[in-house]
Chains A and B, each alone.
Chain A
């Protein structure tokens, strides 16, 4: 999940860097005298770079689709979508995906509840209120948070955050959605904050001046003019962060437990879709069996969820662009 979301900017940067030195080597040749063979070679290479990521995605989709079809030849849609128990490894097998979906939705909802206010407010502070010097120091520091390996976050959730929460909520289980969700929220704060800050920073200064010129205070200008003008970027930041939370694996696998159950109680152990995939992939379930194929069915469901969300985000951005 994180690999896919990180790929496009990297690729774009790579393509730009590739074109740069090459262009400077030949000082301004007239277009007609450019060597066609060489141009074609470069063009072909760049096309390959772009095609590679598309082909990889296609390959994943094909495997996912094939194995998922295999799964559904043995398990009906009714069993998959009409049940709330997920016990494919037990003698009494149930394949109710909602037990895993609820775990994912619950932990992600907690994460976004934590990350949205902190991320957005810190973006507003950095872009609109902080002195330039402060911003120059704080923004990279904030982004450092994104570089912490998720295994560290997961262990932190399990061994620090959950015990701390237990002093306030005594009935909190050792593995629970709350601690994992909160820490996941902290993990995605820099994502929301950094991307929203970019969006806020891109709002033309003339709009701020217009707001101030009308007698608006700094805060009124921020909330009535700057934030609305940046809303498509902010919406994109939130969606990306949410995608990241839904796809996050290590924190929830370590700290949220491995007990699929259909619940929205944040105090008890749950299992997310990603954590289930980890559990099967690391266990001794033989490949090719039905139990093994559940991984692909869960993966497909996960893919559909994030895909739908990205689609939604794109439509949102498009709508706002039209208005803007």
Chain B
């Protein structure tokens, strides 16, 4: 068994994924170290979103979607028979491209939604869970006086941090973020990026982004995908300064994409 500090490490081997007949991931081999930020970059349609949706078994929820290969979380295959995808998703949280707070719930109830959905809600702990999660998402000071107002009344950036708080409240080991800033303005984006750097002390972060500057700013490692293939993965600095593959170089220098 791993020590707690090493929890949340992914190893992906020979991963293929399809939407009906179209293959969107081809033989992907990638390790995601625990408590670090890995950025997934690449042009639209390269399979980067599909890749992270394979990590919490969301890919299979799309009708006619299939996959093959091995995905190990802390050494255990998450696609092994007997693994409950619902339980897995409590360990591997996800933040989506567009902020999607639950429209019928207050700020407070949005944070508690995960606990209620998983049956782990405990009234006595609720207040402290709400405060911890909102502090963790750097939102507490802005909303502490209006926790009972609707979550959708917040600004876009605040809504996205509320969605992060909602994810943290379930106490996952890994947080997947699918272009979490693409719908936000630069100031809101900067706040989320700061938040990512804080979060990596306790969570493994995987961030899909089409914004190379963002990948360079926040991530420790960067993986470049193209047409469903992993082209190159390296420490972020070295990938951006001395890419090994010609296609990576073309992409990061803006020759295509």
A208's nearest neighbour on chain B, judged by CB, is B61
Q: Main SS of chain B's interface residues?
A: mixed
Neighbouring A residues of B100 by C-beta, 8 Å: 204, 206-207, 209-210
- Verify B152–A324 contact, CB threshold 8 A: yes
Q: Which residue of A lies closest to B102 (CB)?
A: A225
Query: Which of A36-44, A90-98, A214-222, A282-290 contacts the other chain?
Result: A214-222
Number of residues on chain B facing chain A (CB within 8 A): 29
Give the number of residue pairs across the A-B interface with Cβ within 8 Å. 82
Answer yes or no: A132 CB below 8 A from chain B CBs.
yes
- Determine which of B63, B87, B163 lies in contact with A215 in the assembled complex, contact meaning CB atoms within 8 Å: B87
Chain B positions within 8 Å of A161 at CB level: none
CB contact between A212 and one of B58, B104, B163, B170 (< 8 Å): that residue: B58
| Nearest Cβ on chain A to B56's Cβ, whole angstroms | 7
**Is B58 a contact partner of A207 (Cβ separation < 8 A)?**
no
Contacts of B102 in A (CB 8 A): 207, 210-211, 225, 228-229
Is A214 a contact partner of B104 (Cβ separation < 8 A)? no
Structural contact, B118 and A213, CB atoms closer than 8 A: no
What A residues does B89 contact at CB under 8 A?
212-215
Tell me if B41 is interfacial: C-beta within 8 Å of chain A: no
Looking at the assembled complex, report how far the CB atom of B76 sits from the nearest CB atom of chain A, in whole angstroms.
17
Q: How close is B106's CB to chain A, nearest CB, in angstroms? A: 9
State in angstroms the CA–CA spacing of A211 and B163 once bound together. Answer: 11
Given contacts A209-B96, A210-B163, A323-B150, contact A216 B114 (CB under 8 A): yes
Smallest beta-carbon distance A223→chain B, Å:
10
Least distance between B176 CB and chain A CB atoms (Å): 8
Q: How far is the CA of A71 from the CA of B58 in the complex (A)?
A: 67
Q: Closest Cβ of chain A: how far from B230's Cβ, in Å? A: 24
Is B233 among interface residues, defined by CB-CB distance under 8 A? no
Chain A residue nearest to B64 (CB atoms) is A132
Contact with B along A180-217 (1 / 0, CB 8 A): 00000000000000000000000010110111111111
Task: Determine if B96 and A214 form an interchain contact, defined as CB atoms under 8 angstroms apart.
Answer: no
Q: Does A139 contact B (CB under 8 A)?
A: no
Tell whether A229 pairs with B104 under 8 Å between CB atoms, given A212-B89, A213-B56, A216-B86. Answer: yes
Q: Quick check: is B1 within 8 A (CB to CB) of the other chain?
A: no
- The contact of B58 among A204, A209, A224, by CB within 8 Å, is A209
CB-contacts of B126-156 with A (<8 A): 150, 152
The complex places the Cα of A217 from the Cα of B85 at a distance, in Å, of: 9
Contact A214 B103 (CB under 8 A): no
A207, B90: Cα distance in complex, Å: 16
Q: Taking the nearest CB of chain B, how far is it from the CB of A106, in angstroms? A: 33
For the complex, what is the distance from the CA of A209 to the CA of B118, rounded to whole Å? 14
B81-109: which have CB < 8 Å to A? Answer: 86-87, 89-90, 93-94, 96, 98, 100, 102-105
Nearest B residue to A207 by beta-carbon distance?
B100
B167 located at the interface, meaning its Cβ lies under 8 Å from any Cβ of chain A in the complex? yes
Check if B48 is an interface residue, CB within 8 A of chain A.
Answer: no
- Give the most central of A214, A225, A323, A324: most B CB within 10 Å: A214
B-facing residues in A304-324 (Cβ within 8 Å): 320, 323-324
Q: Which listed residue (B87, B104, B113, B170) contacts A231, Cβ 8 A?
A: B104
Once bound together, how far apart are the Cα atoms of A210 and B94, in whole Å?
A: 8
A-B contact pairs, 26 of them (CB 8 A): A206-B96, A206-B98, A206-B100, A207-B102, A209-B94, A209-B100, A212-B86, A212-B89, A213-B56, A213-B58, A213-B93, A213-B94, A214-B89, A214-B113, A214-B114, A214-B117, A215-B89, A217-B86, A217-B117, A220-B116, A220-B117, A225-B117, A228-B102, A228-B105, A320-B104, A323-B150
Chain B residues packing against A (C-beta within 8 Å): 56, 58, 61, 63, 86-87, 89-90, 93-94, 96, 98, 100, 102-105, 113-114, 116-119, 150, 152, 163, 166-167, 170
With A132-B63, A216-B114 known, 20 other A-B pairs at CB within 8 A are: A131-B63, A206-B96, A206-B98, A207-B100, A209-B94, A210-B166, A211-B117, A212-B58, A213-B58, A213-B89, A213-B96, A213-B167, A214-B117, A215-B118, A216-B117, A217-B86, A228-B104, A231-B104, A323-B150, A324-B104
